[in-house]
Amino acid sequence: MAGLPERKTLPRLDESLLTHLPPFSRLEKRQIRIILDQASSRRYDEGVAIFQEGHPAERFYMLLDGYVRVVRITPTGEQVTALHIPAGQLLGIAKAIGRDTYPATAMTASEALALSWPMHLWEKFVSDYDGFGTESYKTLGHRLGEVQNRVVEMATQQVEQRVANALLRLINQTGRKVDNGIEIDFPITRQDLSELTATTLHTVSRLLSGWEKQGLVESRRKRIVVRDPHALVVLSQK
């Protein structure tokens, strides 16, 4: 799916819609317009690979709408979700970390819309537009910090703490208010949670079922609502 032709559909995308997003937040509107005029856009169905781990890094992307799961494949062939990326962020910027292949697979967690540019433009944008590079590398730094935090959690926390922290991160990044709490605003399964927290599907199911009985969360097919965020904060710190 990732190899399908890109469709050029952006000539009149209003650059003012992107001025608050890195890497555009420090650029003038005319500079953003120049960058946008070199982009392609494409809509993706849920569950589609925008790009795949190990494939040549030919394009980099800006997610305009939807959510993406960053997936790694272990040496034994297991799939592990490393991160979730919300709309308004860059992805696939292999050149920024000195790679010519993608280090992970980007799977859409919902329907998505993304801009993309040929990878050879990355260095040109970084050199021509001062704020483009600095804001992009800040995004990379935040992601590295998130991954490091997860490594520390896995080394030092019990499973219950890890799952509680994962839910808190997800509602902080993507949550939307609903009548009965805060809903993670993209489809997420118990299997996804088990991959995020390096535990088993059985353990995640047991924890969520227990928390549902206590009124902390509601879980139905591919949807999780956190009803009592404070209680999860307490659990995450035990």
Query: Domain residue spans in the chain?
Result: 15-152, 157-236
Could you report the per-residue pLDDT of 51-65, keeping only the tens digit for each? 999 999 999 999 999
The confidence score (pLDDT) of residue 115 equals: 95
The predicted-structure confidence for 116-170, as pLDDT tens digits, reads as follows: 999 999 999 999 998 999 999 988 888 888 878 877 887 788 999 999 999 999 9
Instruction: State the pLDDT confidence band at 12, using cuts at 50, 70 and 90.
Output: low
Structure tokens that stand for 32 in this block: 């953003």
Residue 13 sits at φ, ψ, to 5 deg, of -60, 125
Position 8 scores a pLDDT of 47
Taken in order 55, 22, 137, 128, is the CA torsion positive or negative? positive
- Which CATH class, in words, describes the domain spanning 15-152? mainly beta
pLDDT at 11 over 60: no
Which pLDDT band holds residue 10 (cuts at 50, 70, 90)?
A: very low
pLDDT of residue 181: 94
**Tens digit of pLDDT for each residue in 161-195?**
999 999 999 998 888 999 999 999 888 889 889 88
Q: Which of 83, 87, 86, 80 is nearest to 70 (CA)?
A: 83
Single pTM value for the model: 0.80
Give me the pLDDT at residue 61, please: 97
- The pLDDT score that the predictor gives to residue 14 is 85
What residues contact 150, with CB distance under 8 A and at least 6 apart?
196
User: At the top level of CATH, which class does the domain 157-236 belong to?
Assistant: mainly alpha
Higher pLDDT, 229 or 83: 229
